[in-house]
Amino acid sequence: MYRYDEFDEAFVRERVAQFSDQVARRLAGDLDEEQFKPLRLQNGVYLQLHAYMLRIAVPYGTLSSRQMRKLAFIARNYDKGYGHFTTRQNLQFNWPALKDVPEILGHLADVEMHAIQTSGNCIRNVTADHFAGVAADEVADPRPYAEILRQWSTIHPEFLFLPRKFKIAVTGADADRAAVRFHDIGLQVKRNEAGELGFAVWIGGGMGRTPMVGYQIRDFLPEADLLAYSEAIVRIYNLYGRRDNKYKARLKILIHEGGAETIAAEIEQEFNEIRYGVLRLPDDEIRRIETYFAAPDYPTRASESVPFKRARLADPAFDRWVGNNVSPHRAPGHAIVTVSLKPIGGVPGNATADQMDAVADIAERFSADEIRVSHEQNLVLPHVALEDVKAVYDALAAAGLATGNAGLVTDIIACPGLDYCALATARSIPVAERISERFGNPERQQEIGPLKIKISGCINACGHHHAGHIGILGLDRKGEEFYQITLGGSGDETASIGEIVGRGFSTDEVVDAVQQIVDTYIVHRESSEESFLAAYRRLGPAPFKEALYGTA
Amino acid sequence: MDIITANRLSDGAVVFLTASGWSTRIAEAQALEGKESVAAALARAAADAEASIIVEPYPVDVERRAQGLTPTKLRERIRAQGPTVGHSKDLHLQVQAA
């Protein structure tokens, strides 16, 4: 894992001291709210519906056991005993007192964590494939590049007051688990024909009220040009992005209004001017950063494990959990374990302090001390020996974390919605809970197969509904919550934006509507091998409209 | 009928303007009839915002129902009563009852 150097350590400590002083001045009345608000936002502190909210960065979703234990400690001592993992691989606490935030940030700094640039119109926490470094299908670990981008973008003096927020994601495999095509900059590490490392680059993707799939600006950008090219993109955005209307201020709108080829030409011109300047990445520096992310020394193991196979045969629930929550690892005899934070009928993405401690203990014992946060609001244990998978399962089960539903209909993404968020127009979590209960039967979920339901409680789309196979958007209609359903969205390498299926549904109707959609898919699919998304792409919306509204 | 709500600066708690200050209980909120009394209450709230006691005060439309003063909008009912689901719900009710 990346370890802070002296500069990182000093910088984070200075920032804690600076913000502590700002909080003290605010509480004493020396700063008013107008002066203080941009300062608190730059340090991850929002004022939400009920209370302050602190958003803590988990760079590229990687945590150590020590860091996870510290999050549990904060949950227990400064919040209400739980935290909420988000679609940006971050952690949010919903109830911290402002007067305690400096102390909390001090605790975070003790374990090399912070809340810097988790809000505001700046380059946000860089996200990455949650299977980075261990996925069997990976070209190279994307996290060293994410770390290089983090160092470049942290208090970058030119980019702290952008027209709007700016999000970057990096993946290292063809199978896109990081939704790179829905980011301002999306990067996929790849090799060219000469075997050299570089990136496919997408720009101007995003969700929100104007969803757009990114425009592919480069098929192959050489590794050494990563920062110069990123700087060129953000510089052109900073120069031309609209500041008159916050809803039209993202890069996607600039590209839409200015024309992708015109903007691309501007970026290329800027890049050519700075390409061989200070931002050119020295090879030895990239290789040095890579060493931080080197995999643990896996003991040589057989690719199959007899105890593991026996355990699967002996325990159907374990077998089902393995089928859904265990993914292929690049090292023989090892596995990647997804820890579902989607208990049936529970809040997506929440973990109690005790659960955080349990995951930290399990990771320390069985996963080389490492944990990942996925943008799908689950946790991942990246380095588990096949022989240990059953012990990991048993330990997770004891902590209430062995739900075997990764990638299935109850593995729902949901934003906090109107239960917590000051911007929301409807509740998301209760809808997620009711859908989860409706489809909670394990055999039924298995029969339905891979299906991503994503729920947002307002048009800002934090719940990624545009990229849901079934997307649900909660709105307010004359004081009543109602829910608009979109179908056919996807955040993977076949990225697409869901299409509105028809008129919205009331709170009472929406779960039945989802069931009708699922039932229609089951009736129309060619076989159980044809996923919901594949079937929808083949069939189009007609049979679903027919089922929901009685009209083709 | 209106009441005035805000968040307490130091800890963010949702608070309601009473005859003498601020309370975390909506039942203790001062019910305001007519534009003039709302304006006067907002002026008191603004002074407390200025004094760094509370932040972001605003009026909320309420009705008197069997359970007491109740906001007419769902958002404000959730804000007054706490999340309707999740880990905070029971804790919030305990705090309200305490």
User: A349 vs chain B: nearest CA distance in angstroms?
Assistant: 11
Domain holding A78, by residue range, is 6-110
| Residue B87 sits at the chain A interface (C-beta within 8 Å) | yes
Cα–Cα distance list, A149 to A124, A253, A279, A339 (Å): 10, 23, 11, 28
Q: Are residues A286 and A310 in the same domain?
A: no
pLDDT of B98 strictly over 60 = no
For residue A551, what pLDDT is reported?
65
For residue B4, what pLDDT is reported?
98
pLDDT, one tens digit per residue, over A195-238 is 999 999 999 999 999 999 999 999 999 999 999 999 999 999 99
Cα–Cα distance list, A249 to A184, A208, A256, A459 (Å): 12, 12, 11, 16
Q: Are residues A476 and A515 in the same domain?
A: yes
User: A51 vs chain B: nearest CA distance in angstroms?
Assistant: 4
Least Cα distance to A96 among A42, A149, A56 occurs for: A56
Q: Is A85 helix (H, G, I), strand (E, B) or coil?
A: strand
For residue B88, what pLDDT is reported?
73
User: Is residue A409 in a domain?
Assistant: no
Count of domains forming chain A = 4
For residue A19, what pLDDT is reported?
98
| Residue A430 sits at the chain B interface (C-beta within 8 Å) | yes
Give the span between the Cα atoms of A213 and A454, in whole angstroms: 17
For residue B87, what pLDDT is reported?
79
Give the span between the Cα atoms of A89 and A417, in whole angstroms: 18
Q: Are residues A384 and A435 in the same domain?
A: no
User: Is residue B97 in a domain?
Assistant: no
| Residue B63 sits at the chain A interface (C-beta within 8 Å) | no
Cα(first)–Cα(last) distance of chain B, in Å?
27
Those residues with Cβ within 8 angstroms of residue A368's Cβ, 6 or more apart along the chain or in another chain: A296, A382, A383
Cβ of B86 within 8 Å of Cβ of A419? The answer is: yes
For residue A1, what pLDDT is reported?
85
| Residue A34 sits at the chain B interface (C-beta within 8 Å) | no
Residue of B8, B9, B72, B93 to mutate when probing chain A, most A C-beta within 10 A = B9
Q: Are residues A147 and A285 in the same domain?
A: yes
Q: Are residues A279 and A238 in the same domain?
A: yes
For residue A299, what pLDDT is reported?
87
User: Is residue A272 in a domain?
Assistant: yes
Q: Quick one: tokens of A40? A: 């608190």
Among A110, A145, A160, where does a domain finish? Answer: A110
CATH number at residue A333: 3.90.480.20
Beta-bridge mates of residue A82: A352
Query: Which residues in chain B have Cβ-Cβ distances shorter than 8 Å to A350?
Result: 86-87
User: Is residue A337 in a domain?
Assistant: yes
Q: Are A358 and A371 in contact (CB under 8 A)?
A: no
Q: What ipTM goes with this model?
A: 0.93
Q: Are residues A81 and A105 in the same domain?
A: yes
| Residue A97 sits at the chain B interface (C-beta within 8 Å) | yes
Domain holding B20, by residue range, is 2-72
Q: Quick one: tokens of A456? A: 């947002």
Count of domains forming chain B = 1
For residue B90, what pLDDT is reported?
61
All residue ranges of chain A with pLDDT < 50 are none
For residue A175, what pLDDT is reported?
97
Q: Are residues A182 and A81 in the same domain?
A: no
Band of pLDDT at residue B97, cut at 50, 70 and 90: low
pLDDT of B95 strictly over 80 = no
Q: Are residues A222 and A98 in the same domain?
A: no
Query: How many beta carbons lie within 10 A of that of residue B82, not counting itself?
Result: 21
pLDDT of B40 strictly over 80 = yes
